[in-house]
Chain A
């Protein structure tokens, strides 16, 4: 017994002594992660940083909710969602400014800005291949501009943050021109730094064409017609003209198997993996969850619908071969997606008739672009959809270029670019069917062309804004006739969304958008 005790005592004394060494050891190394201070050192780090900005596209803000702001909110969409708050975005009567869709869309865009700012601040100081370094910074600038374009068009009055954030930053809003100027500066610098194209495993990164395309879009939105034309010219008449073309088959712009094609100017790359949620964790979604929210009952939540008037735009003229405009079937899923009617229209492998929708549902139209209806036969939609989102499409570039020329008084010069888009759809050239339009008539025609070509591709809200529908009561009345939700639209208020109240609550330098 005694020996046992002696042994015990010896043992505790030994432990006591060994612990002495550690007495002042308060430097505990982190075995899990690198930290900011020792990260931005190598070309590999620079690449990881740039990749992480692209990685932000997989958040719900950019990948799922953006179309609610850009499409459903506009006059071509409406919502019958049972989710009251979600419906209120489309309904233009939002009362909960902190609604998660609001704060996600706002916050996830700022995450993109923060990541881009980190790369832009740190990568230039890295000793590495100079050409590659410039390209990385160029990509970051393009992506920063991409986020700011959405922020300034959705919320209008926003801060301009260009340095990596600090936790206690309380930025003030800046005049919108300042944001636009920065977007233009970033894109101009990006265009200079970025290559026209990539090969192999780099395909999908921002290119020079993407930078000019977005720069043109930014100028156009500000009604800076000459600057818009100049930027877009690189793609339309300049060096990019040989690189880009319209695909023979319109539908190929919305299929998984024909991604990163000749018509694609900038595409957000998605991939279907088993995970369908998660944020920057080891197992996070890299697909898009847009489709289930847009899909019809039985395959999705039917949180968004397209107004039926949109389908009638396509019926105004038939192709030269006497067929219905093929773009309609790609754009709208409804009882007549197949011209022959519900017995021939396929809804995820069922016929429309088979779905046996009640009267309230069977007259609805769903946005078909970016649904996975050809992949999910008789199945529910997926939250990790693989279809790349074509953020800038060459057809849009051509129509934007035509719009710029028309506004510069060069209406006749604008014809051929619209005709290229029409002819791909099989329609007769405008020069043949509507020659000699004046500027206003041509604008009117362009509005129609953009509906038939681009509905469901997140350009509509800004088109309406640019064309003055949100500032002029007479024009607003047109929207109200098309979309009863616009009864809630107040000029001077609804052009911009309210900034999440929680942001204003903790930052005295922010003020709410007017009349919210």
Chain B
């Protein structure tokens, strides 16, 4: 058996070697470099020996090598360039291709159609997948941070965790995720996707660009096209990447002696007995660094192999495999992905059939967050160092493992959880298997008229299994499940099927060019979930639930182009959704756009400005992504129970527990966009600028409703408000002139967006408040609304002088050392609600990204810089340790005000004192906890070396590159938390750092190769 296996491997190797050998077998080898007219290397151009099957593709430096006899003809082609033929005269060939039709002719997928990039009338960003792929990322969204204007990406570093992406700001209160179209299949930002498979990424930002997706596209659309096979010889590309990953920043917390000193004084200040853990029972051998116990150095490893080619010149295929392994930087936290892809296209006469298929397996071991009052990234800094990770002292029936935690007031009391213990006691693993793909059939009816049937399928199986071992991890919180071993199993299946019938038309008549598409798109969703659990071996009731919903769309678009000078596009989509009640199901979503290529006018004659196009668009898009099925009526909860009788019989109850709004309707976003695209100096400098006004009406959200309604189980969805977003976006590119030795290019993008709530659903609501953020009419969503501090009272006289206009003491309970609060509304008394003010916005004034690439001979350096400026963050972890009215560890250097040791930074504090002044010093609703969230970050730095052909020839490789890459290497910020890239808890508390899994530093090295 073993023998035979080896035999097979040997055979395969031989075949592979033969393949390489065949391609090398020729009269001579022609080498060369292909360039664009502006001097940049032409990547991915195909070089074919005319009349043969032999062809080659240029690498990232535009270089190729091919075997061709002197006198034979080489055909060179590349998308968007005029093909040329050259006769082979020697062993070297360096040539230039010019973009066809006098300008860039890059094709952009805009949904059901492709258009030339230069013909775009809407706001569309095209992202360079090569730049995106430099980042080690779970999702495509994470990879494109800082690469496109108007696209805001916020990361969490959690392995397997998705990034949050806003296209053109927050157009809605919830569900702001864009629509993903992957090879024509509707999808979402899933970590199952192999970023290396990406051929192109387009972002549709305004209504006219996205309108063809109607109600699905209000948050923008990210269109991802994966790689496809090409006619020509077999190509194999692979890469291996490995690296380390870590939380790049730590809170600087006290060691046990510093903590002991401060905590002792804090208990003394309250007149409390000193816990014996700090006095008679102090154990100097315990000095736990909880961050060290919780965090570790993680690792990533990624392996890719892609093969593309064609069979019998008819079937083009692309096959790839990907393995991604991420050992997270937190103990017992990991993510793994295996993905396999097959894409094929086959032409048979008038028919083209094609198929894209992704199979992916992911396995995630997330951070255990289960349990009352547990917040891992807060607890890891708040747990006092005097607590041992584990010890016999802590052992009890409820804590059989003896994990360190607060015990009682006498010895040690703390409400902080032992999160390293929880990571061990709460074992959970989420596995997912997914099939996603589509198959299409194109039928060319007549020249220019094509019918397409597209069938898409996404089927995924989620299986979560967990075990919660008995044991509490926090004082005051019992061991869950009655201190018995519990097992959990969750199953979730998701199936979505898509049926689309479209007809495309494209013709030119002299100066007129027309293209159009009409179609119908149906999508069905079926999502059954269930959960199974046992507690102490006793089987618990299951909890099955199935979500079902359908969406129907009728779509059409006409593009018209006159002499490339006047361009227009009209789009219409009518969508119906089962998520709404019968009268509210259908919505119409039209849009229109026009563009004028000024540079084509006769009066235009500028050599500096080689291209200038002005664009205007207006359109309406719908949104229902936020809704789950059947939320437009109240359901009967069948689970309430009432116990009666001597036998304690559980009688069945049934009643509405969660309220519903019956009149839910489409959320609608109307966008007006003004844009300009320009190119200077023969396209060496490109500029694209957009200004937009987007108004979202009837925003769907779970707005908090009054508890007096008796609502339970989550707030009901409601069409609550209108939001306006105004924004300005700019993209500026420069590419240096051709030079063999030194080349560079730069891309700068800039985004500035303001949002404003312009109406609430009902006349009486003026604001909604969540935590310390208020969303008020006429202001931005979730601005910080807190008490205003003004220093610290340094003396009795200052307390006495702090009076309002009525002459009364504003803080009669205050003592020297207490925080002075401002009577904001100047009514003569201090009120912790009405004396709040707007202390800052979680929204950045602007954000900007800069990509710089330098090349010197075979070396290249790539840099991505990213900056966010002007936002305010709430540092909840700091609040947890600086409040000092509970027993936690403290930040190094922390102290508290005393008469002998006054301070302007640290107020009076004490642990466990019933003193109103102290209560006020630790108030959460104060500007004391707000910090600037501005930062500048070197998001990515890469050094690469591309081997020369000659070097590679001997090993039979076509191209190869080695690189070393650092992600999030440098961050310049005043924010004192772990990382200023904050996802936020929800849109209303967007700037709340609630102990977020921080974005990570990753240092990796790898090699890519092709043959």
Contacts and interface: CB of A to CB of B under 8 A. Distances in A.
Interface of A: 2, 5, 8-9, 12-13, 15-16, 19, 22-37, 39, 45, 47-56, 58, 80, 82-84, 87-88, 91, 93, 95-97, 103, 106-107, 110-115, 117-119, 159, 161, 164-171, 200-205, 259-260, 269-271, 274-277, 279-284, 286, 292, 297-298, 301-303, 357-361, 378-384, 386, 485, 488, 500-510, 512
Interface string B29-55: 000000000000000000000000000
B552 A82 contact: no
Given A80-B409, A201-B651, A35 B706 contact: no
A281 B636 CA distance: 12
A115 B634 CA distance: 13
B273 to A, nearest CB: 5
A83 B924 CA distance: 15
Contacts of B654: 34, 39, 45, 48-49, 51-52
A34 B656 CA distance: 10
Contacts of B652: 48, 51
Interface of A is mostly: loop
A497 B768 CA distance: 23
Contact of A28 (B629, B659, B703, B761): B629
Contacts of B644: 54, 201-205, 269
Contact of B767 (A37, A103, A505): A505
Nearest to A379: B397
Nearest to A200: B645
A56 B643 contact: no
A80 B272 CA distance: 11
Contact of B634 (A35, A80, A360, A500): A35
Contact of B706 (A30, A358, A507): A507
Given A49-B653, A284-B639, 17 more contacts: A16-B499, A36-B660, A48-B652, A52-B637, A52-B657, A53-B653, A82-B406, A82-B414, A112-B710, A115-B655, A166-B709, A259-B646, A274-B540, A280-B639, A284-B641, A297-B407, A384-B482
B79 to A, nearest CB: 27
A501 B489 CA distance: 39
B346 A5 contact: yes
Interface in B477-506: 478-484, 499, 501
Contacts of B60: none
Contact of B415 (A8, A82, A205, A360): A82
Interface stretch (B63-71, B183-191, B912-920): B912-920
Nearest to B453: A16
Given A28-B548, A52-B653, A286-B650, A171 B708 contact: yes
A113 B712 contact: no
A28 B764 contact: no
A506 B706 contact: yes
Given A9-B351, A19-B522, A380-B483, A501 B577 contact: no
Given A19-B522, A170-B764, A203-B645, A107 B707 contact: yes
Contacts of A281: 543, 639
* Closest 6 pairs (CB-CB, A-B): A114-B710, A55-B640, A52-B653, A48-B654, A52-B655, A51-B653
Contacts of B475: 82, 301
Contacts of B709: 110, 114, 161, 165-167, 169
Contact of A113 (B481, B536, B710): B710
A202 B645 CA distance: 6
A15 B769 contact: no
Contacts of A55: 640-642, 653
B578 interface: yes
B636 A28 contact: no
Nearest to A19: B499
A269 B704 contact: no
Interface in B610-635: 629-630, 633-635
B381 interface: no
A223 B225 CA distance: 78
Nearest to A279: B712
11 contacts: A26-B550, A29-B548, A50-B653, A51-B641, A51-B652, A93-B914, A167-B711, A201-B647, A204-B645, A360-B273, A506-B704
A286 B639 CA distance: 11
A167 B713 contact: no
Main secondary structure of the interface of B (DSSP, over half): loop
Contact of A506 (B398, B713, B769): B769
Question: Residue among B649, B651, B711, B833 with the most chain A CB within 10 A?
Answer: B651
Given A19-B522, A274-B540, A110 B833 contact: no
A166 B658 CA distance: 10
Interface string B888-926: 000000000000000000000000101010011011100
B655 A274 contact: no
A491 B479 CA distance: 42
A28 B520 contact: no
B708 A161 contact: yes
A25 B576 CA distance: 10
B409 A361 contact: yes
A60 to B, nearest CB: 11
B705 interface: yes
Contacts of B549: 28
B409 A270 contact: no
Nearest to A269: B643
A379 B482 CA distance: 11
Nearest to A382: B482
B441 interface: yes
B114 interface: no
B543 A12 contact: no
B711 A26 contact: no
B677 interface: no
A22 B524 contact: yes
Contacts of A384: 482
Contacts of A301: 475-476
Nearest to B541: A282
A384 B640 CA distance: 16
A170 B651 contact: no
B408 A297 contact: yes
B351 A171 contact: no
B686 interface: no
A360 B409 contact: yes
Contacts of B398: 380
A83 B541 CA distance: 34
B538 interface: yes
A204 B924 CA distance: 44
Contacts of A91: 914
Contacts of B229: none
B640 A36 contact: no
Contacts of A35: 630, 633-636
B93 interface: no
A110 B919 contact: no
B602 interface: no
A380 B397 contact: yes
B402 to A, nearest CB: 15
Given A32-B545, A274-B484, A49 B655 contact: yes
Contacts of A28: 548-550, 578, 629
Nearest to B886: A84
A84 B913 CA distance: 9
A110 B710 contact: yes
B601 to A, nearest CB: 46
Interface string B842-861: 00000000000000000000
Contacts of B483: 380
B72 to A, nearest CB: 32
Contacts of B453: 12-13, 16
A329 B914 CA distance: 30
A297 B409 CA distance: 9
A169 B548 contact: no
A30 B769 CA distance: 33
B535 A274 contact: yes
Given A166-B659, A280-B640, A506 B712 contact: no
A114 B642 CA distance: 17
A279 to B, nearest CB: 6
